[in-house]
Structures are given as structure tokens and as C-alpha cells.
Amino acid sequence: QVRLVESGGGLVQAGGSLRLSCAASGRTFSSYAMGWFRRAPGKEREFVAKIIWSGGVTYYADSVKGRFTISRGDAENTVYLRMNSLKPEDTALYYCAAQRHGMRTYEYWGQGTQVTVSS
């Protein structure tokens, strides 16, 4: 019943920008953090960014600080990831996920959207 659906991925040249969207449904997420992760072929899943739903506090991986911005959308239960100055190393399948307050793990996951950055 709970669904997280990512969109906005695609093919972009190095130095370009993309905005990913995550639409969450099936329950309220006011007590959650919403995060973005990515996974490249042959590599482990990597944390990218997250935002606390109530209050808007954000966290970023060092590899994306200054280039990526996570934000809440105007629509209910929507989160964005604006990616600027993209590099080929950013190529990966990007997932959104929801983390309940007080828990270490992420309870809900989307299926991912592909981002490919060409040199």
C-alpha cells in the first residue's frame, strides 16, 4: 500500500543538471526523514542526502555537498533532489527511502530511477 515512486532520471552530459522527484503515498510521513541513495553496478549502495520531514533539516554525503540539494515539494509527501555540476562518477540508480523517527534503518524504498552522466 505504501509506495515511493522516483522520476526525473535520464542521460545528461557532464556539467549538466537534473532534478529527481520522489512521490510518497499510502500513509503520512510527518514523523519520517526522506532520503536519497544511489548504487552503481559493482558497487555498494551509497547514502546521498536526506531531509527531516518536520523541520526541514538536511544532511549530505561529502561527495555531493555543494552540488546536490534536497528539498520538500509544494505537493504533499513529495521530495526533490536537484543535482548540479554532474560528473560521470554520479552515474547510478537513484533510490528514495523513508526513515521513521527513532529508527536507524529505512522502512520504505522506491524502485529507483537511472541517472547516466556522459563525459
The residue ranking higher by pLDDT, 22 or 30, is 22
What is the distance between the alpha carbons of residues 27 and 118, in angstroms, rounded to a whole number? 38
Q: What is the pLDDT of residue 61?
A: 98
Q: What is the largest CA-CA distance in the chain?
A: 41
Q: What is the pLDDT of residue 84?
A: 98
What is the distance between the alpha carbons of residues 102 and 89, in angstroms, rounded to a whole number? 32
Taking only the tens place, the pLDDT of each residue in 62-82 is 999 999 999 998 777 899 999
CA dist 57 to 8, 33, 60, Å? Answer: 23, 9, 11
* Strand partners for 24: 4
